[in-house]
Amino acid sequence: MINVINSIFYGLGKTNYMLFQSVVINSFFYGTAFILYQVGVFEPSLTLIALMFATGTALDSVLTMGMYVWMLKRKAINVFEPITI
């Protein structure tokens, strides 16, 4: 589902949404994990690294869905409205 939304962003030329998503997740989530590792709070193991990337992917998905809903509301698009020709 998220790949479809990402493809919609690419198709509409809204790559700025993809940049925002990448900067937010990489800076805040993975950046925080890196800082915690540097100060010795976070000790990585295979399980913790897998959980970290799973959580990052989940947060990425939530952010993508939020941006998609925001874009639809901003453009006043109702996806549940039938298309009439």
Residue 56 has pLDDT above 90, yes or no: yes
Q: Which residue has the tokens 């193991």?
A: 45
Residue 74 has pLDDT above 70, yes or no: yes
- Are the beta carbons of 25 and 63 closer than 8 angstroms? yes
- Are the beta carbons of 22 and 79 closer than 8 angstroms? no
Distance CA 62, CA 2 (A): 9
Distance CA 66, CA 70 (A): 6
As a whole number, mean pLDDT of residues 23-36 equals 93
Percent of the chain at pLDDT > 90 equals 53
Distance CA 69, CA 64 (A): 9
Q: Is residue 85 very low, low, confident or very high in pLDDT (cuts 50, 70, 90)?
A: low
Q: Which residue has the tokens 């937010």?
A: 24
